[in-house]
Amino acid sequence: MRLGAPRDVKVDWRGSLLPPVAKRHADPPPRWHWWFSRAETTVPYVLLAVPTLLSALRADQTTAHRLTTLAIAAGAAGWLVLTTLVPSARVREHGAFAALTFAGIVSFGSVLEARETYFLIFMVHGFFAAMRMRPVAAAILGVAITSLLINTVANGGPIHALATAPAIWVTLVVVQTAGIGGGGAVFAAVGRESAERKRMLDQLAAAEAENRGLQRQLLTQAREAGVLDERQRLSEEIHDTLAQGFTGIITQLEAAAQAQDDPAEWRRHLDTATALARENLTAARRSVHALRPEPLEAATLPDALAEVARLWSERTGVPAGFTATGTPVPLHPELEATLLRITQEALSNVAKHARAGRAGLTLSYMGDEVSLDVRDDGVGFGPDDPAPGEGGFGLPGMRSRVQRLAGTLHVESEPGGGTAISVNLPAVPAATLDGIENEGASA
């Protein structure tokens, strides 16, 4: 996620005692900034017009003196136009241009004040022009120069004033500079804080908009992942129930066909096939309704696995022992269903591939972990041989189920030495996860 101010917003007041006149290509400025910008553009002309009018109304001046003063005032007005209205805001904010503007203001103002004391009013604008300069040291120096001129020009000029009463004029300039410069610094700090706050709000708004987009994207991806995961779950469920059931039915029917001369054996295989078909139908209905596997509906996990081993032994004729160690605890339904399906798949692989004389199952409760071991003494397979069920949903399906629950699956086998499958899963109690789900639902 990217955090940053919009590219068209530029804030740089670090070298000035006043905020910029205007922001280019930015959002509408605050109302106080609008009023400040208008005042800063208009006030200089007012400060020049008032003393010019007062000077023109004096009756004790000669016509030549009056016309000369008006000409100089017109030059000052022209300078204001050239420095406040003609250039762009970016040019006006440049340090060198601000210094040039200041020099023209104090020059015209000093000449006019020397002719008419009224123009001390116009010299006040020199303070604002000085505070535009950068760096801050230059702005403070400009305020000091304006203070010295505005106070001494009408009293014989800076040199004469400092020569006759240096302590008075120096003290006055220092105090005035500190007061005006300090006020400008405070104003600039408030402006910088306001601009920084706006910049942060712009960043937060941009981040919030981006987060909303990311959230929509994540929700879409989650839905797609959920669809794919559900498809995988259904394919594994169908393989672990219907496919295995049909395999058992076909096996029993083939055995019944070979035992036609023995009515009792024929009937036994036919009854077994019928029972498998009924179990398959029930499992199919429960898969459609996404319920827990039937053996876990009315039994604990150890009892269900023991029953699966017993039924498998009856169908295949291969003895299968079951052992449970540790203290059995109810686990989350998904964990128990996974262990049951892996047991069924592992025994199915033994029946189809191992040619084993015996199989064994061990379910171990070990505190925060539960493990399942399925062993047989069959033909096994070597490291270069394909593992039984690798071409279908056998071992890949087991691994997928285990990895989905943050568990591990290990397979050990060697030619003639049988096969051992070991599964380790986190033993998440059913009550704990139910509580978490209830909290999530209530939230």
Distance CA 346, CA 166 (A): 106
Distance CA 32, CA 191 (A): 10
Q: For residues 380 and 418, is the Cβ–Cβ distance under 8 A?
A: yes
Q: Are residues 303 and 208 in the same domain?
A: no
Helices (H), ranges, 132-239: 136-152, 158-164, 166-238
Q: Are residues 38 and 172 in the same domain?
A: yes
**Structure confidence at residue 36 as a pLDDT band (50, 70, 90):** low
Beta carbons within 10 angstroms of residue 18's beta carbon: 21
**Could you tell me the strand order of the sheet in which 320-325 lies?**
320-325, 359-366, 369-376, 419-426, 408-413
Hey, is 129 helix, strand or coil? helix
* Mean local confidence (pLDDT), 159-172: 82
According to the model, what pLDDT value does residue 399 have?
A: 87
CATH of the domain at 366: 3.30.565.10
Structure tokens at 44: 């200089």
**Into how many domains does the chain fold?**
2
In a domain, 414, yes or no: yes
Last residue of a domain, one of 196, 212, 228: 212
* Mean local confidence (pLDDT), 274-293: 69
Q: For 217, what's the count of Cα atoms within 13 Å in the CB-facing half-sphere?
A: 6
- At 82-120, the pLDDT tens digits run 988 888 878 877 878 888 989 999 999 889 988 988 898
Between 150 and 14, the higher pLDDT residue: 150
Mean of the per-residue pLDDT values for the chain? 79
pTM of whole model > 0.85? no
In a domain, 171, yes or no: yes
In a domain, 351, yes or no: yes
Residue 363 pLDDT more than 50?
yes
- At 37-47, the pLDDT tens digits run 677 778 889 99
According to the model, what pLDDT value does residue 24 have?
A: 42
Q: Are residues 70 and 170 in the same domain?
A: yes
Between 213 and 10, the higher pLDDT residue: 213
Distance CA 338, CA 265 (A): 35
Q: For residues 115 and 157, is the Cβ–Cβ distance under 8 A?
A: no
Weakest-pLDDT range from 105-119, 178-192, 218-232, 365-379: 218-232
Q: Are residues 168 and 66 in the same domain?
A: yes
In a domain, 277, yes or no: no
Last residue of a domain, one of 212, 233, 256: 212
Last residue of a domain, one of 190, 212, 234: 212
In a domain, 289, yes or no: no
In a domain, 241, yes or no: no
According to the model, what pLDDT value does residue 166 have?
A: 81
In a domain, 97, yes or no: yes
Judging by DSSP bridges, how do beta strands 369-376 and 320-325 pair with one another?
unpaired
- At 329-348, the pLDDT tens digits run 999 888 898 899 899 989 98
According to the model, what pLDDT value does residue 321 have?
A: 94
Give the structural domain span for 308. 299-443
In a domain, 306, yes or no: yes
Residue 310 pLDDT more than 90?
yes
Distance CA 39, CA 325 (A): 88
Q: Are residues 208 and 303 in the same domain?
A: no
